Amino acid sequence: MRRFVIGSARSLIERSRQNYQFQRPLLSSSYRLLSSTPAVDSPSSSSTMSPPVALNTINPKVIECEYAVRGEIVNLAQKLQEEINTKPDAHPFEEILYCNIGNPQSLGQHPITFFREVLALCDHPTILDKSETQGLFSADSIERAWKILDQIPGRATGAYSHSQGIKGLRDTIAAGIEARDGFPADPNDIFLTDGASPAVHMMMQLLIRSEKDGILCPIPQYPLYSASIALHGGTLVPYYLDEATGWGLEVSELKKQLETSRSMGITVRALVVINPGNPTGQVLAEENQKAIVEFCKQEGLVLLADEVYQENVYVPEKKFHSFKKVSRSMGYGEKDLSLVSFQSVSKGYYGECGKRGGYMEVTGFGADVREQIYKVASVNLCSNISGQILASLVMSPPKVGDESYESYGAERDGILSSLARRAKTLEDAFNKLEGVTCNKAEGAMYLFPRIDLPEKAIKAAEAEKKAPDAYYCQRLLTATGIVVVPGSGFGQVPGTWHFRCTILPQEEKIPAIVTRLTDFHKSFMDEFRG
């Protein structure tokens, strides 16, 4: 196994370095002035002119970038959906079940009432003065809307805000972080973003100078990271999670991959940790987190903590601990560790993916670097205001004594308990399939089962020039309408095959999914057996 890890690390790093060996012009100033020499007209024929944009003339980093969650399988699923819409009996299934992406509300999850009431009132504040509003909205949602509107210049949710986000909302988020962790949080460390993804891109843009700069990423990983590293011209340095120990993160593995990459001339800038894990669903133990913090401190690495699933923990023996809390509990402060923590309104029990809200908390950076981060944020002007409001609500939901507290708690607990049941049902179903093993989903929104495919199936995939797990997922889709993502899109130990399946379809649909999956898998294995 370790030979696979080192060999794969060398291969990935070498490939990444080779892909970016193109000449970059050296400029004598911060930008290049175009020549003022007038162009000479030359006769040309439109029939012989090359198109102004072609694959060989676009940025090669864009070609290198891949995002499997919305890749080939999803494109095929959308095509099948169009065919069903035109001709309902075109396929042996009535609907496409999208188990490929963490998009809860698209699969029937209801939004949290209090959050939506506050958003509605903020977006249409004239109704706050109407008498009917008292009967339609809870008292605490009305009160919260007034408070938020008073923090927005001009009380206009359609206006730009400060580039880091509305100060009052950042105050609320900082207070929420402090309440969660038991350690102070500074609103000036908060950068509100359109979901967590732009925050990740901002940090990659900041850290990566060339292909000589590397980012340690888990394998399997959420493809946002590999895509962002590719787009910004860096090198992904893989560290492998241990499937045999429930997708464990071993510091010895981090050290090995760090040493390997350094020996090849790569300067590793940061470590990405996804907790709870995506696509793997593990929840890190606090002692493990302490070892990771110590590793980053000793090696001088920025710790990029993806904590967007912090509300999604389903096993009583595990709890979420933020890396900020862990590092502060170890006595490390601003001068000891550079830490960036990401949060989003898209996950948890809220599932507000389309509202595009999130933030990063940036600690342990000097004032001069912080100024550069702010400059990058200001280029985008600001994140959307609805997302900013939601981020503040997520970190400051109704409290005991508020009118909405009981209904809010019932909605939250109902969603999370249902997710836990769905995860357990799918986990059990996967483990009953021939040649399939699936670790427990301790958290997040996904299962990542391993599938041992027959040699004939692997040969059939090779004949179609597909990865074996992609071939399996495509066959599953065309036979059942179930959309899952091949493990090859997330990275995996060479010679192993997986797929990622969300636990998000509504609970009443899970038995039908299990039945379809079971029947397909048996048929597939029988087809390629022996």
pLDDT tens string 262-292: 999 999 999 999 999 999 999 999 999 999 9
The model's pTM is 0.85
Confidence of residue 3 (pLDDT cuts 50, 70, 90): very low
Q: What pLDDT, on a 0 to 100 scale, did the predictor assign at position 70?
A: 61
Enumerate long-range contacts of 344-347, CB under 8 Å, 24 or more apart: 344/195, 344/196, 344/308, 345/195, 345/387, 345/390, 345/391, 345/394, 346/102, 346/195, 346/196, 346/308, 347/102, 347/308, 347/309, 347/311, 347/312, 347/444, 347/445
Cα angle vertex 28, ends 25, 29, to 5°?
Answer: 110
Is 5 a residue whose pLDDT tops 60?
no
Cα angle vertex 66, ends 275, 426, to 5°?
Answer: 50
Residues 128-144: b if buried by 16+ CB within 10 A, e if exposed: beeeeeeeebbebbbeb
Is 27 a residue whose pLDDT tops 70?
no
The Cα–Cα gap between 345 and 98 comes to: 20
Instruction: Taking residues 301-323, report their average pLDDT.
Output: 95
Q: For residue 112, give both structure tokens.
A: 């949290």
Query: What three-state secondary structure class fits 54?
Result: coil
In 3D space, the residue among 489, 9, 15 whose CA is nearest the CA of residue 238 turns out to be: 9
* Structure confidence by residue, pLDDT tens digits, 141-176: 999 999 999 999 888 888 888 889 999 999 999 999
Mode of pairing for the β-strands spanning 358-363 and 190-193: antiparallel
The position carrying tokens 């024929």 is 45
Query: What three-state secondary structure class fits 487?
Result: helix
Average pLDDT taken over every residue of the chain: 87
Enclosing H/E stretch for 296: helix 286-299
* Structure confidence by residue, pLDDT tens digits, 355-377: 999 999 999 999 999 999 999 99
Q: What pLDDT, on a 0 to 100 scale, did the predictor assign at position 28?
A: 39
- Burial of 528 from C-beta contacts in 10 A (0-12 / 13-18 / 19+): middle
Q: Are the C-beta atoms of residues 340 and 206 closer than 8 Å to each other?
A: no
Residue 77 to residues 193, 406, 478, 507, Cα–Cα distance (Å): 30, 40, 8, 22
Is 45 a residue whose pLDDT tops 70?
no
Is 44 a residue whose pLDDT tops 60?
no
